[in-house]
C-alpha cells in the first residue's frame, strides 16, 4: 500500500517543484526562447544588457509578421522592482500577442510591441528565495560592506534623489543609487527609450507595478501640468473604466502623482520624448489579469490616439540626454 502512495506523493512533489521552477529566471527565459523559436516571424528576442549578477536582460519585440519595418512602438517594462505578478502579466501579454495574433490584429496592425518582461532579474531571483513576507524591490549591487541594492525606479535622471531622505540611504529599499543611472538595468531601459525616440518610433512607455490600484501619468516629480495633460486624463479614464467593466469590481484611479518624488522611469520617458508615458499599478488577488486588462486598454488607446497620420510631437522638454550611451541595437524585428 505504501508504495503507490509514496510514488504519488513523489510525483506530486515533482509537479510542484516543476511548476515552481517555471517561474524561475531560467524557466521564464527558456519558455520565451521556445516561443521565439516557434514563431520567428512574430517575435524576436534581443539581449540588451547583462545585470550585476550576470543575468541577461531580454527585450521581446513583437510584430504581426506582415513584414513592414519601422512601425510605431509601445514599450512595456515589467518588474523594475522585481515584482512577480508584473512579470507574469508581461509574459501573458507576450503570449497573447504572439499566439492569438489574429484576435489581436488591431493591436498589431500599425504598431510593434517591445516588452521587457523582467527588468530586474537579480532582485526577482533574490526575492523568490526569501521565506518571509518581506519584499525585496532593489537590484543586488553591493553599495558598501553592509548594504545591497538600488531601487531602479529611483535611478532615472529626472529630479534624481529629490523627495525624501531614504533615497540616499544605501540600506533602504528606496535607495536611489550612487548617481543617476548607476545601475546597468536602468541604463539599459534608458538606452532602449533613446533608440526608440531617435528612430521616431516610440509612442507609449508603460511601466508595470503591483502595489497601488492606479494608473499614473507625469509628472511624478511635481504637479506641473504637461502639455498633453487633457489627453492623459482621458486615457487614464478609459483604462480605469475598462478595468472596472471587465472585472465588474476593481476601481482603479487615474492620477498625476505630482508629489515631488524624483527619478521615476515614466517621468524620464516623457521627458525624453514619449508623448504617452504611464505606470499601471494593480494590487489584489487578481492583479495579473487586471494588469493584462490594463496593458491592453493602454495599447488600444495609444493606437487610437496615434494613427500613422498623426506626427509624434516630442514633448517640449525633449532634448538629447546627456549621459546616455550610444548603443545601437537594431530594434527592428528580424524577418
Ligand atoms: C516639474 O518637473 C518637470 C520635470 O523635471 C520640469 O520639466 C518642470 O519644469 C517642473 N516644474 C516646475 C514648476 O518646477
pLDDT in tens, 33-86: 999 999 999 999 999 999 999 999 999 999 999 989 999 999 999 999 999 999
**Co-location of 147 and 24 in the same domain:** no
Same domain? For 64 and 119 the reply is yes
Residues 6 or more apart whose CB falls under 8 angstroms from that of 51 comprise 57, 120, 121, 122, 139, 140, 184, 185
Residues 21 and 127 in one domain: no
**Sheet holding 111-116: strands in order across?**
43-50, 56-62, 111-116, 72-78, 202-209, 276-281, 214-217, 253-256
Is there a single domain that holds both residue 87 and residue 224? yes
pLDDT of 265-321, one tens digit each? 999 999 999 999 999 999 888 899 999 999 999 999 999 999 999 988 765 555 445
Alpha carbon of 204 to ligand 1 centroid (Å): 20
Residues 122 and 17 in one domain: no
Asked if 139 and 47 sit in the same domain, the reply is yes
Shared-domain flag, residues 83 and 217: yes
Query: Which residue lies with its CA nearest to atom 9 of ligand 1?
Result: 224
Q: Are 212 and 289 in contact (CB under 8 A)?
A: no
- Same domain for 66 and 33: no
Distance of CA 218 to the CA centre of its chain: 16
Tell me the pTM: 0.90
> Range of 6's domain?
1-38
Q: Both 158 and 207 in a single domain? A: yes
Indicate which atom in ligand 1 lies nearest the CA of residue 222. Answer: 1
Query: Which cell numbers in the block locate residue 52?
Result: 550585476
Model confidence over 231-271: pLDDT tens digits?
Answer: 999 999 999 999 999 988 888 888 887 777 778 999 999 99
Mean of pLDDT over the chain: 88
Mutation probe of ligand 1 site: the residue of 161, 218, 219 with most atoms within 8 A of C-beta: 219
Residues 47 and 17 in one domain: no
Q: How many domains does the chain have?
A: 2
- pLDDT tens, position by position, 87-101: 999 999 999 999 998
Closest-CA residue, ligand 1 atom 13, reads 224
Amino acid at each position: 500500500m505504501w508504495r503507490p502512495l509514496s510514488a504519488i506523493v513523489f510525483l506530486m512533489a515533482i509537479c510542484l517543484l516543476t511548476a515552481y521552477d517555471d517561474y524561475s529566471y531560467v524557466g521564464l527565459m527558456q519558455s520565451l526562447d521556445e516561443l521565439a523559436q516557434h514563431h520567428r516571424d512574430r517575435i524576436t528576442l534581443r539581449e540588451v544588457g547583462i545585470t550585476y549578477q550576470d543575468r541577461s536582460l531580454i527585450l521581446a519585440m513583437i510584430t504581426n509578421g506582415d513584414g513592414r519595418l519601422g512601425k510605431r512602438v509601445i514599450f512595456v517594462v515589467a518588474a523594475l522592482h522585481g515584482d512577480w505578478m508584473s512579470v507574469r502579466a508581461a509574459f501573458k501579454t507576450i503570449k497573447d500577442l504572439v499566439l492569438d495574433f489574429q484576435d489581436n490584429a488591431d493591436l498589431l496592425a500599425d504598431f510593434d510591441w517591445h516588452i521587457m518582461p523582467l527588468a530586474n532579474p537579480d532582485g526577482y531571483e533574490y526575492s523568490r528565495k526569501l521565506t518571509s513576507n518581506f519584499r525585496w524591490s532593489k537590484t543586488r549591487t553591493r553599495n558598501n560592506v553592509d548594504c545591497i541594492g538600488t531601487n531602479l525606479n529611483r535611478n532615472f535622471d529626472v529630479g534624481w534623489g529629490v523627495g525624501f531622505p531614504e533615497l540616499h540611504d544605501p540600506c533602504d529599499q528606496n535607495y536611489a543609487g550612487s548617481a543617476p543611472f548607476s545601475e546597468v538595468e536602468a541604463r539599459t531601459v534608458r538606452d532602449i527609450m533613446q533608440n526608440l525616440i531617435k528612430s521616431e518610433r516610440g509612442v507609449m512607455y508603460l511601466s508595470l507595478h503591483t502595489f497601488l490600484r492606479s494608473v499614473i501619468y507625469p509628472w511624478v516629480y511635481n504637479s506641473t501640468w504637461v502639455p498633453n495633460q487633457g489627453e492623459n486624463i482621458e486615457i487614464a479614464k478609459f483604462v480605469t473604466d475598462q478595468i472596472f467593466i471587465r472585472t465588474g469590481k476593481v476601481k482603479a484611479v487615474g492620477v498625476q502623482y505630482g508629489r515631488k518624488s524624483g527619478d521615476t522611469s515614466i517621468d524620464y520617458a516623457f521627458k525624453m520624448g514619449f508623448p504617452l508615458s504611464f505606470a499601471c499599478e494593480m494590487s489584489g488577488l487578481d492583479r495579473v489579469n487586471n494588469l493584462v486588462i490594463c496593458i491592453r486598454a493602454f495599447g488600444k488607446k495609444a493606437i487610437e490616439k496615434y494613427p500613422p497620420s498623426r506626427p509624434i510631437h516630442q514633448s517640449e522638454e525633449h532634448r538629447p540626454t546627456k549621459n546616455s550611451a550610444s548603443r545601437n541595437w537594431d530594434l527592428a524585428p528580424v524577418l
